């Protein structure tokens, strides 16, 4: 089928790389949430709900995540007390900063202090504008279990933001380092990723081979774009196809949006979602693929597994 051929080509062109938005693997098998201890799941779910509400600019939904007498101290040290006041604060933030985005919430630690008190520590990443620099800031939240069975934030403290340099930005993709393989179905996909000698890029080699004898090989260079303040990649394969892409993180997923051309000159646009299951597995899903103006079927997923290290052979 034509779309299958182009999907295989897309693997080579898009590098099967990178991940937050779109389809996720089933929680009972490959989802990162499956490995979270049950007592901690309410807090991870609350973090996702906070992200979703922020994306919708839903101040009321965010307010409901706080207790009636909650206290919020922002990165500037300003103190807001009470659910109603906190709701009004976020409403004003959304009105005055319509382009602001909350990219991810990464929980470092959750400590249950008692039956109804829990301490959460982590990091948030955000942008003031869609193409603005990515900022990171630490936060500490004290949760209280209320009578309706829901954990709500009683105290939230945001610390001053930190803008990361290119090294720290690229460090987000360090999980790509190493060799990866998928041998399911009719295609064998292999990738190998290393740091460049100067440390300014991630360099990847990749190949996709089908049972029909089609072979695609190529290279990719990933870098931090200091002008657009975003992670970008450039891909070139041995068939003559090439593309460029942008990478946006959302928790344990990356969304890679790419544009380019096939070896035949057809324009290719795609959006792919890559979910980090664990240090040994990545799930890649095509959520949008257009080749030469034709929309291809979506939803095809494959699992990339970290390849076992090559055995050391004796020189004797």
- Which pLDDT value is given to residue 32? 42
204/93 same-domain check: no
**Domain end point (choices 164, 188, 218):** 164
Give the chain's domain count: 2
Are 83 and 70 a contacting pair, CB within 8 Å? yes
153/177 same-domain check: no
This prediction's pTM: 0.54
- Which pLDDT value is given to residue 27? 42
In a domain, 48, yes or no: no
217/289 same-domain check: yes
Q: Measuring CA to CA, which residue among 39, 42, 63, 68 is closest to residue 53?
A: 63
109/218 same-domain check: no
* Mean pLDDT value of segment 244-257: 84
Instruction: Please report which confidence band the pLDDT of residue 310 belongs to, taking 50, 70 and 90 as the band edges.
Output: low
**Runs of H (alpha helix) within the chain:** 2-14, 41-56, 59-63, 83-96, 166-171
Higher pLDDT among residues 304 and 308, named by residue: 304
Residue 250, φ and ψ in degrees, nearest 5? -145, 90
Structure tokens at 148: 């309706």
* Mean pLDDT value of segment 25-45: 63
pLDDT per residue over 122-149, tens digit each? 989 888 887 667 788 899 999 999 999 9
188/297 same-domain check: yes
What is the CA angle 107-102-235, rounded to 5? 95
* Mean pLDDT value of segment 153-167: 83
Domain housing 193:
2-27+173-306
Q: Measuring CA to CA, which residue among 177, 206, 183, 153 is closest to residue 43?
A: 153
pLDDT per residue over 69-116, tens digit each? 999 999 899 999 999 999 999 999 999 999 898 888 889 899 999 899
**Number of C-alpha atoms within 13 angstroms, CB side, residue 195?**
11
Q: How far apart are CA 81 and CA 296, in angstroms?
A: 51
């Amino acid at each position: 089928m034509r779309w299958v051929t182009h999907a295989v080509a897309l693997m080579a062109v898009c590098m099967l790389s990178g991940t937050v938005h779109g389809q996720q693997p089933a929680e009972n098998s490959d989802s990162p949430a499956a490995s979270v201890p049950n007592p901690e799941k309410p807090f991870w779910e609350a973090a996702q709900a906070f992200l979703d509400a922020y994306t919708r600019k839903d101040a009321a939904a965010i307010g409901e995540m706080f207790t009636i007498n909650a206290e919020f101290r922002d990165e500037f040290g300003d103190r807001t007390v009470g659910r109603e006041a906190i709701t009004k604060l976020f409403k004003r933030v959304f009105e005055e900063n319509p382009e602001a985005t909350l990219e991810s919430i990464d929980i470092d630690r959750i400590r249950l202090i008692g039956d109804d008190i829990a301490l959460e520590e982590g990091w948030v990443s955000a942008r003031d504008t869609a193409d603005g620099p990515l900022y990171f800031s630490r936060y500490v939240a004290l949760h209280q279990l209320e009578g309706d069975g829901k954990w709500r934030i009683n105290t939230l403290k945001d610390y001053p933001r930190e803008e990361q340099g290119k090294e720290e930005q690229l460090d987000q993709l360090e999980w790509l380092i190493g060799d990866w393989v998928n041998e399911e179905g009719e295609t064998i996909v292999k990738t190998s990723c290393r740091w460049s000698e100067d440390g300014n890029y991630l360099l990847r080699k990749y190949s996709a081979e089908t049972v029909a004898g089609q072979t695609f090989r190529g290279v990719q260079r990933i870098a931090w774009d200091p002008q657009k303040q975003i992670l970008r990649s450039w891909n070139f394969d041995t068939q003559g196809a090439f593309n460029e892409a942008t990478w946006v993180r959302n928790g344990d997923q990356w969304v890679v949006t790419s544009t380019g051309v096939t070896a035949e000159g057809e324009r290719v646009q795609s959006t792919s979602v890559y979910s980090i299951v664990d240090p040994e597995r990545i799930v890649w899903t095509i959520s949008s693929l257009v080749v030469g103006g034709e929309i291809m079927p979506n939803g095809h997923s494959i699992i990339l597994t970290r390849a076992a290290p090559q055995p050391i052979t004796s020189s004797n």
